[in-house]
């Protein structure tokens, strides 16, 4: 052994030393182990406490859960609709369902809904953790709301027993009641409850009523697989996936359902491939039959209200027993219905109209005109139609953004000239003419396209997208091309959207989303406020200046036919047309239009009116006036004429010299027809006063004028003196033997020599001084040329000619006055480089629509142009296209 010990005692001491040594090296491990145990114990304790606390919280939350009321579970409740004054106007859901027992529902129908809504329905106990996990993953990858995690059982509980507020307590109660429901009822009973509650349309609740309304069948066994899939796809978005209203969207959705049925083993590959080849319209009832089954008073308005409630409150109005408080004014709605279908407007065949009336200050929709001869469930031309807006878009995309961001005044000078888009394609005005330099107000009043494009370009794409977005028009920056400046939209807009956007101009720049519902009350007494929040969309100066220019458009521009006696109206017309190819291919009149708009507002109401026809049917010149007439009649009926648009402190008024560029203030001597009053953003108004029409003192008159005849040279020498200061020139005029005066010299010299004087003739001369202040009165002298003449005969001759001289002087004075008058009437300002002379030599102050200088051309075009609509944005003879090659006159 290596260790040697002399005794047991030494060995023992050595062993004890090792033992002590070991005890010094191991405590660290024990301390680490102890710390881990403490952490684990702490977590365990916290977990137990959390579990207890969670259990207590869960118990508290479910303590006041509603009971499983079989009547509520199996008998859906209808909802009541109220007008703006709280008066009941309709009941939705009542007698609009056909209850079907589960034994009468074929597997193809059940499987279609199970594959779409809850494929593991028969495997879970009310709540499906796998489905919840999948929904969380889908929401993480595709954004919140991409996929729901609720089972069919949870949907029955939520739609039958609970309010739709999104709180933790409601969700806990939903889970609790779902477990309870599964314990009390069988799977088939729960599925039966669900299939009889589903919302398909305002007139169809439950799969039985839906099959009857859309396919005309009362026995669900008569539905094909593809028809069952169509119905199963609708509840997610009943309006968008309505196969009669939107067959393309409905077919895509149906095919998704068929693929899910195939994925979960409900149909084979062969059945799937066969079903998806069938047109979604096969077996549908005719549009006329569908319209008959969905007829309802105020249907356009109520359908929009139902859609809003479903979207904002996540409820099913036809089954949840709601009280829906709307914004409808039934008097206004009754009148709109009369305008749509009565005799007050003479519509022509195939002509359609869409109309939205709302409160300018609140955005509350008072009435909707969904279309002529419209039945419940039909296409809603006030809400669903998407048409190009024509020139009604100019305040939104052109002039509004440039005022907001560049602080242009209503006087801002824009040159209306031959011009092109950035792509090089030409842009034309409706009359193919150009007015030269005009103000922004006149450009909007006369609906000129070239100035609108220039304003669009000056505003900038980003500013335009933001401005439009603030007004409820969401435009993708990548889609925004220059043709949008005059209404060449890709997807179009609806009257509802245009009314909402224009109302902000009349509401000091505040935008209120158009809405039909203010609140919803649930069957448990809770109430949900659905009123949108008012948002500042623009500066008050932008709103006011746009409004004031649009008032001019109604008073003396393209919208005069929309004037209403005693009511302040601001508004804009809009017209779109067909492409050149469409005109040739379909034989469309060149004066015909695709769409005709009028959007206007008063301090109290805003209305947007669209008129047009489907397909390649054009509006005649007379039909294009109907939109303005509809607006005029409606506003005259509902508006009491109270109120005006008040100028905010951010805007100042200034009277400027017409045609000055940059603007200068008109002086007190400026003639009234040479000045104009416009609005400026405070701080940008002109401060320099024009000197053009200031009173000026006449120049000093020349003195000592004398005339001498030199017989040797046969010439007359004139000389004179001048006592004035500064630069001066002298005009010399002569008259011979009583003839008229003619100018013979203009120079700074104080003498003149007239050669070849004729003996025996009488010469009269006038000399005037010319300075920057003007011309002096003339100095005069008379000379009779005789070779040898005594003083007496000369005096006699002079006395003899005295009367003639006075007459000649009077004529000369008249000529002088005319010269001064002509100088004073010059259209070019003396103190500014106005830049008002363009290639057409137009009058720079031409802001009242006067004709171009080329009278011959205008006379030639007179007959051609007399029927042209000054708001038809892309001339049909020279179709304009945007940078994507898209016509501004297409849908």
Residues marked as catalytic = 117, 391
CB 682 within 8 A of CB 652: yes
CA distance 203 to 377: 8
How big is the chain, counted in residues?
Answer: 891
Q: How many helices (H) and strands (E) does the chain have?
A: 27, 28
Alpha-carbon distance of 549 to 553, in angstroms, equals 6
Residues with Cβ within 8 Å of 259's Cβ and at least 6 positions away in sequence, in order, are: 272
Pairing of strands 323-326, 517-521: antiparallel
| Pairing, β 79-82 against β 323-326 | parallel
Nearest Cα neighbor of 291 from 282, 303, 280 is: 303
Inter-residue contact 502 to 608 (CB < 8 Å): yes
Phi, psi dihedrals of residue 422, rounded to the nearest 5°: -60, -20
The secondary structure of residue 396, as a DSSP letter, is I
SS (H, E, C) 420-459: ECCCCCEECCCCCCCCEEEEHHHHHHCCCHHHHHHHHHHH
CB atoms within 10 A of CB 552: 17
- CA pair distance 308, 516, nearest whole angstrom: 8
Task: Answer whether 258's CB lies under 8 Å from 264's CB.
Answer: no
Contacts of 865 (CB under 8 A, 6+ apart): 431, 432
Continuous H helices in 264-298: 269-276, 287-293
Considering only CA atoms, which of 384, 322, 359, 368 is closest in space to residue 521?
Answer: 322
Identify which of 118, 97, 517 has the alpha carbon closest to the alpha carbon of residue 319.
Answer: 97
- Beta-bridge partners for 597: 574, 610
Half-sphere exposure in the Cβ direction for 710 (13 Å, CA): 10
Question: Taking the alpha carbons of 506, 444, 556, 869 in that order, is the dihedral positive or negative?
Answer: negative
Strands 79-82 and 365-369, by their bridges, are unpaired
Give the closest residue to 244 by CA, choosing from 374, 378, 98, 384: 378
* 556/570 Cα distance (integer angstroms): 11
Q: Are 688 and 723 in contact (CB under 8 A)?
A: no
DSSP E strand stretches across 620-702: 651-657, 675-681
DSSP readout, 703-768?
EEEEEEEETTTTEEEEEEE----S--EEEEEEEETT---EEEEEES-SEEEE-SPPTT-EEEEEEE
| Dihedrals phi, psi of 845, to nearest 5 degrees | -95, 15
Residue 216: C-alpha distances to residues 1, 253, 667, 834 (Å): 107, 21, 79, 73
């Amino acid at each position: 052994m290596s260790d040697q010990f002399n005794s047991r005692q030494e060995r023992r001491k050595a062993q004890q030393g090792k033992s002590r040594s070991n005890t010094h090296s191991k405590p660290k491990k024990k301390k680490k182990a102890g710390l881990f145990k403490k952490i684990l114990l702490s977590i365990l304790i916290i977990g137990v406490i959390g579990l207890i606390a969670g259990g207590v919280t869960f118990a508290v939350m479910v303590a006041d859960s509603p009971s499983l009321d079989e009547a509520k579970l199996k008998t859906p409740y209808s909802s009541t609709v109220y007008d703006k004054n709280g008066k009941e106007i309709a009941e939705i859901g009542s007698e609009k369902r056909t209850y079907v027992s589960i034994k009468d529902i074929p597997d193809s129908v059940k499987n279609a809904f199970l594959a779409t809504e809850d494929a593991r329905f028969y495997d879970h106990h009310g709540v499906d953790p796998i489905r919840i996990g999948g929904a969380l993953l889908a929401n993480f990858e595709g954004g919140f709301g991409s996929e729901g995690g609720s089972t069919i059982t949870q949907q029955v509980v939520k739609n039958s027993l609970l309010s739709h507020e999104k709180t933790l307590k409601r969700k806990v109660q939903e889970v609790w009641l779902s477990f309870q429901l599964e314990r009390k009822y069988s799977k088939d009973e729960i599925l039966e409850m669900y299939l009889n509650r589903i919302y398909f349309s305002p007139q169809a609740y439950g799969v039985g009523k839906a099959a009857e309304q859309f396919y005309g069948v009362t026995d669900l066994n008569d539905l094909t697989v593809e028809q069952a899939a169509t119905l199963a796809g609708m509840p997610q978005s009943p309006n968008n996936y309505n196969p009669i209203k939107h067959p393309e969207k409905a077919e895509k959705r149906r095919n998704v359902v068929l693929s899910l049925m195939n994925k979960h083993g409900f149909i084979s590959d062969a059945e799937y491939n066969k079903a998806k080849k069938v047109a979604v319209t096969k077996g549908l009832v005719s549009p006329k039959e569908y319209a008959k089954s969905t007829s309802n008073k105020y249907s356009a308005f109520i359908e929009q209200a139902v859609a809003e409630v479903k979207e904002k409150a996540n409820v099913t109005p036809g089954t949840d027993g709601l009280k829906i408080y709307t914004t409808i004014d039934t008097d206004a709605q009754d009148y709109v219905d009369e305008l749509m279908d009565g005799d007050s407007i003479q519509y022509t065949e195939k002509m359609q109209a869409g109309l939205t009336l709302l409160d300018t200050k609140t955005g509350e929709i008072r009435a909707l005109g969904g279309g002529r001869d419209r039945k419940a469930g039909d296409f809603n031309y006030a809400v669903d139609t998407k048409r190009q807006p024509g020139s009604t878009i100019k305040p939104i995309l052109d002039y509004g953004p440039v005022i907001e961001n560049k602080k242009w005044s209503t006087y801002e000078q824009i040159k209306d000239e031959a011009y092109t888009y950035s792509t090089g394609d030409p842009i034309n005005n409706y009359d193919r003419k150009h007015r030269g330099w005009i103000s922004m107000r006149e450009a909007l009043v006369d609906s000129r396209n070239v100035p609108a494009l220039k304003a669009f370009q000056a505003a900038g794409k980003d500013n335009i997208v933001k401005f439009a977005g603030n007004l409820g028009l969401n435009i993708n920056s990548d889609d925004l091309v220059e043709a949008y400046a005059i209404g060449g939209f890709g997807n179009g807009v609806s009257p509802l959207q245009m009314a909402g956007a224009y109302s902000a101009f009349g509401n000091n720049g505040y935008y209120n989303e158009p809405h039909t519902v203010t609140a919803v009350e649930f069957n448990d007494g809770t109430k949900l406020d659905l009123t949108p929040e008012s948002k500042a969309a623009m500066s008050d100066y932008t709103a006011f200046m746009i409004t004031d220019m649009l008032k001019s458009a109604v008073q003396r521009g393209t919208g005069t036919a929309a004037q209403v006696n005693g009511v302040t109206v601001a508004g804009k017309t809009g017209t779109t047309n067909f492409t050149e190819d469409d005109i040739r291919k379909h034989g469309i009149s060149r004066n015909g239009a695709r769409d005709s708009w009028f959007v206007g507002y008063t301090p109290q109401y805003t209305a947007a009116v669209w008129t047009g026809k489907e397909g390649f049917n054009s509006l005649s010149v007379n039909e294009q006036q109907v939109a303005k007439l509809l607006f005029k009649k409606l506003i005259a009926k509902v508006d009491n004429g109270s109120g005006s648009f008040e100028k905010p402190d951010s805007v100042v008024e200034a009277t400027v010299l017409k045609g000055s560029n940059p603007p200068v203030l008109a002086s007190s001597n400026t003639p009234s027809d040479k000045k104009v009053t416009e609005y400026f953003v405070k701080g940008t108004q002109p401060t320099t006063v024009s000197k053009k029409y200031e009173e000026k003192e006449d120049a000093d008159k020349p003195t000592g004028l004398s005339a001498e005849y030199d017989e040797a040279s046969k010439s007359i020498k004139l000389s004179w003196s001048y006592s004035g200061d500064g630069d001066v020139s002298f005009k010399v005029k002569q008259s011979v033997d009583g003839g008229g005066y003619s100018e013979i010299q203009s120079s700074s010299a104080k003498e003149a020599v007239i050669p070849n004087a004729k003996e025996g003739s009488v010469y009269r001369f006038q000399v005037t001084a010319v300075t920057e202040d003007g011309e002096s009165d003339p100095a005069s002298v008379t000379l009779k040329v005789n070779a040898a003449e005594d003083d007496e005969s000369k005096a006699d001759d002079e006395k003899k000619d005295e009367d003639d001289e006075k007459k000649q002087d009077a004529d000369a004075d008249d000529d002088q006055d005319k010269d001064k008058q002509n100088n004073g009437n010059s259209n070019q300002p003396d103190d500014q480089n106005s830049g008002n002379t363009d290639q057409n030599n137009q009058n720079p102050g031409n802001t009242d629509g006067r004709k171009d200088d080329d009278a011959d051309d205008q006379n030639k075009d007179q007959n051609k142009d007399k029927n042209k609509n000054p708001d038809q944005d892309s001339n049909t003879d020279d179709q304009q296209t945007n940078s994507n090659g898209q016509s501004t006159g297409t849908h």
